[in-house]
Amino acid sequence: MSEDGVATAEWRRRVDLGLAMSEGLPIVVVASLCAFFALASDSFFTLRNLTALSSQASTLLMVCTGATFVILMGSIDLSVGAIVLLVGSVVVELMNALGLGIAALAVGTVLGMLLGLINGIIFAWGAIPSFVVTLGSLSVFSGLAQELLQGRAIEYRSVAFDNLAIGQFIPHLPNIAVVAIAMWAVMVFVCFNTRFGRYMYVIGGGEAVARTSGVPVSRYKVYAFMLSGAMAGLAGTLAVARVGAAGPTLGSELLLNSLAAIVVGGTSLSGGEGGMHRTLLGVLIITLLDNGLNLMGVGEYVQMVVKGAVVISAVLVSQDRTKLSIVK
């Protein structure tokens, strides 16, 4: 074999090894965290804590199901936490004013989709980087929500809506967890079995190539942000149902946690690699960290340090170095 052939074979071997590590590593991390926290805390593997764990992971999983598509196409949505806050605040006000019950789910989802539409239009047709667009909309949406709340938590009055999230149609599994798992399963199907899902990979793999191939890139960019907004709106509505009110801190942790979960799960920030199936593992890792460190009595600030280190480590492991010039 020629020298070039040997070099090519070695390159392919390293690529295959890297892919195997990036796919298998999150599973190893989940298993390791479960084993570690089970030994560190007697409360970890109790039925009560596992029920709380599933409820805690649900909002994050729903937000990530939409945001994964945005990252998959090589962009980023920093406004998901602000959409959760704004949608939750508006939904509570509408429920108290109009007596909305379960219909609030549809209202919240549509409102989130409209907010995502705003992001998508400015990004796709305004030719502004997604980082800048969503950083600005994060401030706008958060400011609107805080103006609406005036620094106070607003409770809602609806028994039916209350049972929607914290009720247990399946024993020991909150309804909000059932909804989150169902939405994740739907999005896995969308990711691998629809034109929209395939186009997300194509755009993330190379936008110029996608345009040359006839993909309507701008339109599908808007679709991705609409989906991200819709899932954040649904998550915000159910988060309100879970905690019983909309307050100024609603969704405040979702920006870091959603990005961390998606990246740790194995979806590359440079786009075109990963997918919805991996996001579930990332959500489990972040939720296990939060839950386990809380049970161990670790302080909030130390937890922030740990999660930040996890995100940086995940990017170092999963980042495709050949795409560093297009990360945005």
**Each residue of 69-78: pLDDT tens digit?**
999 998 999 9
DSSP 246: E
Domain of residue 161 covers: 25-321
**Each residue of 119-156: pLDDT tens digit?**
999 998 888 899 999 999 999 999 999 999 988 888 88
What average pLDDT does the chain have?
84
Distance, CA of 113 to CA of 59 (rounded, Å): 17
Beta bridge partners of 173: 170
Distance, CA of 241 to CA of 250 (rounded, Å): 12
Number of domains in the chain: 1
Mean pLDDT of 286-303: 88
Whether the per-residue pLDDT at 321 is higher than 70: the answer is no
**Residue 202 forms part of a structural domain:** yes
Q: Count of CB atoms within 10 A of residue 116's CB?
A: 30
Whether the per-residue pLDDT at 12 is higher than 50: the answer is no
Residues 6+ apart with CB under 8 A from 123: 75, 129, 130, 133, 134, 221, 222, 225
pTM for this predicted structure:
0.86
**Residue 9 forms part of a structural domain:** no
CATH number of the domain to which 132 belongs: 1.10.3470
Distance, CA of 272 to CA of 147 (rounded, Å): 38
Residues 6+ apart with CB under 8 A from 257: 60, 286, 290, 307
H-state helical runs in 174-243:
175-193, 195-205, 207-212, 217-243
Assigned token pair, 260? 């961390």
Most confidently modeled range among 17-21, 106-110, 239-243, 298-302: 106-110
pLDDT for residue 318: 57
**Residue 62 forms part of a structural domain:** yes
**Residue 326 forms part of a structural domain:** no
Element containing residue 154 per DSSP (H, E)? strand 154-155
Whether the per-residue pLDDT at 163 is higher than 90: the answer is no
* Confidence band of 9 (pLDDT split at 50, 70, 90): very low
**Residue 13 forms part of a structural domain:** no
Distance, CA of 292 to CA of 122 (rounded, Å): 40
Beta bridge partners of 246: 154
CA dihedral 290, 272, 190, 172 (to 10 degrees): -10
**Residue 15 forms part of a structural domain:** no
> How far is the CA of 88 from the CAs of 181, 245, 249, 276, in angstroms?
21, 8, 11, 25
**Residue 185 forms part of a structural domain:** yes
DSSP letters along 86-120, please? HHHHHHHHHHHHH---TTHHHHHHHHHHHHHHHHH
Whether the per-residue pLDDT at 21 is higher than 60: the answer is no
**Each residue of 77-125: pLDDT tens digit?**
999 999 999 999 999 988 888 877 778 889 999 999 999 999 999 998 8
pLDDT for residue 18: 43
**Residue 5 forms part of a structural domain:** no
